[in-house]
Structure 1
Amino acid sequence: MLTYAYWNNKGGTGKTSLCFQSVTTYAHEHPDERILAIDVCPQANLSELMLGGLAHGGSTKLLALQGEATRRTIGGYFERRLPAPFSPPQISADAYISHPADHNNQIPQNIDLIAGDPLLELQSTAMSTLASTTVPGTNAWLAIIDWLKDLLDTIRDEYDVVFIDANPSFSIYTQVALSAADRLVLPVMADDSSRRAIQNAFSLVYGLKLPSAIYSQYAFATKLREANRALPKVHVIAKNRLTQYMGSASAYSAVLRSIDTDVSVLISQHPDMFNFTDTSEALVEVRDFQTAGVVAFARGCPFYAQRAGRADVMGRRVRVKDEYLQNCVNSLNMLVQKL
């Protein structure tokens, strides 16, 4: 079982939209594989898309999952762990897994979902407190960080690929998600803030260029390495939301070249952090989704299943141009081919 996490510490990079389109496209192209999507985000936008989007009651369906006697969400699973946080209980993963195709006929039948949950924000405080507890003979921090890994270990033979949509933060539930991942998909945008975000991401996940040595002992990477645990490797860097008309437009080209240079330097200095040896192997340019994205995400619809032309979105008529839609499909295919 191979696990991908979609994450960037910077918000607005299109992480969830890329994750949704990647999961559905991958599942569509690999119908014989079983796919699990895990939404480790309190906003639960990936879950809403999977369950039908704004136009088809995705939010209402998500609330129904959260309202079951045992919440059918990642929050429901974490709630199960809180009373005995340092030793895995008898875990029944089926209690937290749903089948989005039962709610949204655009989703491939081979995808299952563990939905997101706003409870994560409340649980984060409790999890952080527990992780700081002194327990003789127990690494309390690692015990909490392994909560998602514990769950995945129970279903490792049931799924081929897991996609995790992680929150744009470095809260403890995000650390739980990243520690369970084998590979990292890092979306960036063509601006200086995204360039800085790459540097911040490597500082947070891998402990690079910390402002002071005093932080090293508390760093995520330090704690995992001390426990002889592997960190996820950067697998794809997606240059997202480039202009639809010109690709990587001239206004952004200098920033994009700088991003390439920064990544090249990191590869040469820290090759163990990457799943590739050259930037060209992992960099993917993703066009701005524009109206095609608006329609896709309002309807919870993968690009490959979407049709060009006039569409109704919540009572408003919009037009999806065939050329732009095809650019979206091509971009996602290039990304998925690297998975």
Structure 2
Amino acid sequence: MKSKSYVIWNNKGGVGKSTICFHLASVYAAKNPDKDIVVVDMCPQANVSMMLLGGGDMGETKVEQLISEETPKSIVGYMTDSIINNYSTVNLKKFLVKVNENNEHLSKNLFLLCGDGNLELIAPLLADRANAVPLSQADKPWEQVHSIIKKVTDDLINEGRETIYFIDTNPSFSIYTQIAIISGEKLIIPINADDSSRVAISALFNLIYGSGQLHPVYGNYTFSVRLNNNGMRRPIIHLLLGNRFTQRVGAAHAFQALSEATANAMYKEYKKNPARFSNYSTGTTPLHFEDFQEKYVFELRDFNSAGVVAANQGLPLNEIAEHRVYEVYGQKIQVSKEQGELCKKVIEDLASKL
């Protein structure tokens, strides 16, 4: 039995990475009680951690408590301990948070490696260690540092139970984002229906896969080249998530056109190298565009008030459907039963594609 891991990343901000990670992990955990689900929060903002730990002020307070312990129970605490112990994963469990003990609305099989704002502060240290001069032919500092979380996601947290990892990320391409990307087997790419998302697809392929032309001076220092030089894997693309496609009802046709343009940019990359996509068998005929969309593109509806409530109160969408009115910072917010049910269904449909 082996683990599975999904990294959620786009080098464009504001596409809903943390929100999607929260909903996807919480619903997937509820639907799969026989598996261990672990969220690895690799974003210094720790938004997904706050949502999982109760949302709003409560979630923020709990994150602050975890990262303020003498040995921080967070991603920074774990990485520091691992480096001190020669990149060992032996102490992983003492850094994992049992989410249900902090948020009763979430499943008992859901765990969190908590985000930590200090990840930004230790980034220069990580970069220095990664770029250190090797002491011998066997010494590979770049690989050791960049594999520090991959060692976690390659392993089970409990023998005999499958572990599924969801890795949240920051849009920047800093060293901690590179570490996060390497730690996932499959890549989920959230996008908005806008021109910047379309342009970001080319940048994403260039950063991860080196699909652009190598610069004559800087080319050998790129992330992609160094992955190749160290014989390290990179994630394969699993899904392109069209997030918030219905945010403007009156502009549905314009948004659909933009979403198709972004999917088409992805399709062009697929035709160049289909092996970079999941569930592709070498030697088979590449899909036509319509079939590609069916297999690799998934549209998320705008969660509207349901999304506001979920983030503020740490509620999974499968529970929001059971209530109608919520209080958020003193304001009453109504979530219609229909909206709650629709949001719940779309996340469950997304989870079924994993």
TM-score of the superposition, structure 1-length normalised? 0.93
Alignment RMSD (CA, Å): 1.9
One-letter code aligned to 1:175: Q
Decide which moves more: 237-246 or 109-118: 237-246
Q: Partner of 1:117: helix, strand, or coil? A: coil
Determine the structure 1 residue equivalent to 2:318: 304
Q: 2:234 aligns with which of 228, 231, 234?
A: 231
Determine the structure 2 residue equivalent to 1:331: 346
Query: Is residue 48 of structure 1 aligned with residue 50 of structure 2?
Result: yes
Q: Deviations over 1:111-136 (max 9, x none)?
A: 01100001101110111111111022
1:322 to partner: Cα distance: 2.3
Mapped partners of 1:245, 1:328: distance in 2: 17
Residues 1-339 of structure 1 correspond to what in structure 2 (within 5 A)?
Answer: 1-54=3-56, 57-83=58-84, 87-89=86-88, 91-137=90-136, 138-153=139-154, 155=156, 158=159, 159-210=162-213, 212-243=215-246, 246=249, 249-276=252-279, 278-306=292-320, 307-339=322-354
Q: How many residues align?
A: 336
Mapped partners of 2:89, 2:149: distance in 1: 14
Indicate conservation of the 8 Å contact 2:89/2:152, yes or no.
no
1:154 to partner: Cα distance: 5.6
1:149 to partner: Cα distance: 2.1
1:90 to partner: Cα distance: 6.7
Gapped runs of 5+ residues in structure 2?
A: 280-286
Decide which moves more: 90-99 or 280-289: 90-99
Indicate conservation of the 8 Å contact 2:153/2:165, yes or no.
no
1:49 to partner: Cα distance: 0.5
One-letter code aligned to 1:74: I
Mapped partners of 1:43, 1:88: distance in 2: 25
| Pair 1:183–1:224, CA change in 2 (3 A) | same
1:157 to partner: Cα distance: 5.2
Determine the structure 1 residue equivalent to 2:282: none
Mapped partners of 2:39, 2:76: distance in 1: 15
One-letter code aligned to 1:226: N
1:91 to partner: Cα distance: 2.9
Q: Deviations over 1:133-166 (max 9, x none)?
A: 1022212211110111233456465442111101
Following TM superposition, the consecutive aligned residue runs of length 4 or more in structure 1 with deviations greater than 6 angstroms are none
Q: Deviations over 1:242-300 (max 9, x none)?
A: 11575981122221121121121111101121114523202110011111101111100
Indicate conservation of the 8 Å contact 2:89/2:151, yes or no.
no
